[in-house]
Amino acid sequence: MITLGIEGTAHTLGIGIVDSDKKILANVLNMYRPPRGGLHPREAANHHADVVSSLILKALEESGVTMKEIDLISFSKGPGLGPCLRVAATAARSLSIILNKPIIGVNHCVAHVEIGRATTGCTDPMLLYVSGGNTQIISFSNRKYRIFGETLDIGIGNMLDKLGRELGLGYYAGPVIEELAKDGDELLELPYSVKGMDMSFSGIMTAALALHRKGCRLEDIAFSIQETCFAMLAEVTERAMSHTGKKEVLLGGGVIQNMRLREMIGKMVDERGAKVYAPDKKLCADNGVMIAWLGNLMYSSGVRMSIADTMVEQKFRTDKVNVTWRN
């Protein structure tokens, strides 16, 4: 069975094509970069609408399969930005109707777990999912993917981007902050916001901006925000591992490219005698392949959806999904 998946939860419109043997036939994407300011959902959606047709054709060309050979269409049903989700869903519905092929709407966060399980060798991981819009610690328990901890306000990637913008470091500033942090040598005091198993990041950003106004070095601010926030992520991930007894940590989301975060999580996991797994960079960030792969898993396990079932869900929780494809 060949599945075409359409990802469109936030800044990236991605098309992936996979077969049932986990073979990736195509992975093409186009990321929206705002000319100024932050990510405006409507502008990102307009970008996605502009590129979706040409990306589908590009993916077909890359895969070597024809439109008629596609057996299943899947798309990101949520969670995400409403206008962006609707572009992906509309494209998926159109293909499904025109080709007369089944359609499956999938949960974006669960797709990050399943592409990790399919490509890294882990079997039952604790997913540390850190991106612009999401910061969650997710694992399988009692037939659902459950959230063991999450941000109470904004995603860590969103916080780093906003901070970078306010500090004049440009948009998608995470990599710039990571570079600056290497030259930081003073750990400045920032709020450590772990509340139970959840975290919050917006107050830390406000405190970091206050330090900037006081004249603290950018390098020290970058160093301190990384050390503080990554320690929070490591703490919550460790407690979730301790609670569930899981021995694998899977990394997912764009922020996982940060080498200091990987180092801190790696150290914690080593000390527990557990193992860290990370998908290939192209599969770690948002992509259509993971959407196609989860669509394939769901359909193969008997899930069916009508067009009426494909309404997007901006706040689609992972534990709403019945995991029919795992024992």
| Closer CB to Fe ion, 29 or 204, in the complex | 29
Handedness of CA 279, 280, 284, 286 (dihedral sign): negative
DSSP E strands in 50-172: the ranges are 72-78, 103-107, 126-130, 135-141, 144-150
Q: How many residues bind Fe ion (CB under 5 A)?
A: 2
Q: How far is the CB of 291 from Fe ion (least distance, A)?
A: 10
Which of 114/286 has CB closer to Fe ion? 286
Minimum separation from the CB atom of position 112 to Fe ion (A):
6
286 binds Fe ion (CB under 5 A): yes
Q: Are 294 and 18 in contact (CB under 8 A)?
A: no
Q: Whose Cβ is closer to Fe ion: residue 12's or residue 96's?
A: 12
Using the minimum distance from each CB to Fe ion, give the nearer residue, 108 or 224.
108
Q: Does 114 bind Fe ion (CB under 5 A)?
A: no
Piece of 19-27, 184-192, 267-275, 279-287 that binds Fe ion (CB under 5 A): 279-287
> Strands of 12-19's sheet, edge to edge?
24-31, 12-19, 2-7, 72-78, 103-107
How far, in Å, CA of 295 to CA of 108, rounded? 11
Considering only residues 130 through 159, tell me which ones interact with Fe ion, judged by CB under 5 A.
131
Of the candidate spans 86-94, 125-133, 151-159, 300-308, the one that interacts with Fe ion by CB under 5 A turns out to be 125-133
Integer Cα distance of 104 and 304 in angstroms:
7
Any contact of residue 238 with Fe ion (CB under 5 A)? no
Does residue 76 sit in helix, strand or coil? strand
Q: Where are the beta strands (DSSP E) in the chain?
A: 2-7, 12-19, 24-31, 72-78, 103-107, 126-130, 135-141, 144-150, 194-195, 198-199, 248-252, 275-277
- Residue 31 CB, shortest distance to Fe ion, in Å, is 12
Options 84-92, 129-137, 183-191, 304-312: segment touching Fe ion (CB under 5 A) = 129-137
Contact region with Fe ion (CB under 5 A), list: 33-41, 70-78, 181-189, 282-290 = 282-290
Catalog residues that contact Fe ion under the rule CB under 5 A. Answer: 131, 286
